[in-house]
Chains A and B, each alone.
Chain A
Amino acid sequence: MASRRRMLLKVIILGDSGVGKTSLMNQYVSKKFSNQYKATIGADFLTKEIQFEDRLFTLQIWDTAGQERFQSLGVAFYRGADCCVLVYDVNVAKSFDNLNNWREEFLIQASPSDPENFPFVVLGNKIDIDGGNSRVVSEKKAKAWCASKGNIPYFETSAKEGFNVEAAFQCIAKNALKNEPEEEIYLPDTIDVAGGNRQQRSSTGCEC
């Protein structure tokens, strides 16, 4: 039996309290939705096996508590993230305004090697509410913000109705995969005492 290790992709969902982070995750992983609001305490995660280009991956989706007092989860939580999902509620202007803070927070905590090109995905959730009549953040405004931050992919979703959730997470997985190097091999920083007769090894490229 071939037991090839599955690559692990770590995704972190951030956003204000009550925008529907947990619901989005549950909808995607287990196709379930509950109207009952239950605040996430600290953090939690779900895993889902996904297939992409004939390879199996494990998507580890981390859900966080949006409340102020839970915000400092520590570096361990953010470490090794491959994609960060920023969620806001299209009916709450404040949750949209805070996207910038969440993005900054993530970049500080996770300190990715290439912050400019780190994959984010923005989701505008709860578009089902009141048939869209209570909406305060327009799609145009959201897209403009995403464009200004380096063309972040944007999706409008409804965790309740499962609208666009699958598509959004497919994009998330794809971007996460792009971020993950093919195989992590640790190469120590060495000083070539032999006098530079060897080609300098670089960990950025892959030999395939």
Chain B
Amino acid sequence: MKGLASAPGDYVYFKSQVPLHKISIGSKQWRYYDFGPKSVPPLICLPGIAGTADVYYKQIMSLSLKGYRVISLDLPRVWNHLEWVHAFEKFLDTMNVHHVHLYGTSLGGFLAQIFAQYRPRRVKSLVLSNTFLNTEKFSASMPWSPVVGWTPSFLLKRYILTGIRDGPQEPFIADSVDFVVGQVETLSRDDLSSRLTLNAAAASVGPLLLSDSLVTIMDTNDYCAIPQSLKDQVSERYPGARRATMKSGGDFPFLSRPDEVNLYLQQLHLRRVGVEPKQDQISGTSKDGNAGSLYENEDDNPQEGHGSSGSHFESHEPQSSSNAEGSHDNNGSENDDGPPKDQVSFDLPESDHDPQASGSETCLLTIISISAMASGIILLPEQVFSSIHFMIQLNLGALYTAKTLKV
């Protein structure tokens, strides 16, 4: 939380609007954001070595406003690729998500492909950004990988950060690097060594069943930590994929070129692979005013006039609760929102969203966004917590720890 003071304004806003979830499934800890209508098949963002769930906050904000569901997560602490497949599958089961669209950058893109290879039925489409097909090159450049588990944290951080190009950079790219460096600081030694192990363990992506037409390759054309030859291999592997190349953006285009990345993700990729946003659940003016018309819903709900300022949206809790109850949830359906498993703890706004209290009756969370960027007032049924919410809006509540809910 300490970083919030110097964080970009839109990140502070994001943290005040979107709850962070932390759950453990088996022995694995998951830290993730899940935002947008629960009835829409999610776009799941998988970060690279240096990333966390937070690095995609600009995508979460923008796409959820357009009625898409975005899940962004920290890579779990796994030590080989099969363990990743199993762990991620369990995560999806717990989330009650069957079909996914994966957006992976760097190591995340590699893991997305591995998952698509082993679980072809679940992966409906892929967006691969600055990524690779095999880890050969990285294992060769990291001969000390067997002792990665013994290496002190600061050395691991330094090793990861050396991959980021230094020197004079354009302000947006420099800011994106700053943000990611700040995120690396939050990672534990185990997180770091797990990622480096995954990156260096010999593995390669086998043939995918997924049609090339459902793959979008979104590389930056200026430079990035992934060598061009490896990126070329990805393009050669999926010759029918769309090549949504960006002229520049560096290693983290999702932060340095968010509007371009969002344009590609929603306007080109998700629409093309047939993901229908639920505009009737969320509508609102966007930050920059014009992005509100970026996505025009063609014929699914023409009655929804876009850009209606001061519009409100209802949260999806009621719907998702009925979904969870109606579905064949293997974990039972005691709680209505987050994944129904062991330990659930929420950060920030929805922390008071007690599954027991809301129980069967629908909990209406109405968010009236007066001005989407500047402020949002959250009205909750429980008056008790409203004061805390206002404090969070004012960034005074940042230190309020989230309530841990035992289920």
Contact = CB atoms under 8 A, between A and B. Distances in A.
A5 B296 contact: no
B290 A74 contact: yes
B267 interface: yes
Contacts of B262: 76
Contacts of B229: 1, 3
A184 B222 contact: yes
Give the size category of A's interface with B.
20 to 34
B271 A75 contact: no
Interface in A112-170: none
Contact of A8 (B169, B247, B293): B247
B228 A3 contact: yes
A42 B296 contact: yes
B170 to A, nearest CB: 5
Nearest to A42: B267
Interface residues of B, number: 32
Interface string B271-306: 100000000000000001011011110100000000
Is the contact region of chain A dominated by helix, strand, or loop, or is it mixed?
loop
A5 B296 CA distance: 34
Contacts of A188: 168
Contact of B294 (A3, A42, A58, A80): A42
B263 interface: yes
Contact of A10 (B243, B247, B268): B247
Contact of A75 (B168, B221, B259): B259
A60 B243 CA distance: 9
Contacts of A4: 228
A17 interface: no
B290 A72 contact: yes
B260 A76 contact: yes
Contacts of B247: 8, 10, 80, 184
Contact of B221 (A5, A42, A186): A5
Contacts of A60: 245
B203 to A, nearest CB: 22
A74 B259 contact: yes
With most chain B CB atoms within 10 A of its CB, the pick from A1, A45, A186 is: A186
Contact of A74 (B169, B242, B263, B271): B263
Contacts of B248: 80, 184
A202 B243 CA distance: 33
With most chain B CB atoms within 10 A of its CB, the pick from A43, A47, A72, A184 is: A72
A77 interface: yes
Nearest to A10: B247
A73 interface: yes
A3 B132 CA distance: 15
A69 B290 CA distance: 12
A97 to B, nearest CB: 24
Given A1-B229, A3-B228, A3-B232, A42 B260 contact: no
Contact of B168 (A43, A72, A80, A187): A187
B323 to A, nearest CB: 29
B268 A44 contact: yes
Interface in A7-63: 7-8, 10, 41-45, 47, 58, 60
21 contacts: A3-B232, A8-B221, A41-B271, A41-B296, A42-B271, A42-B294, A42-B295, A42-B296, A43-B267, A44-B268, A45-B244, A58-B243, A73-B293, A73-B294, A74-B263, A74-B288, A75-B290, A76-B257, A76-B294, A80-B247, A186-B173
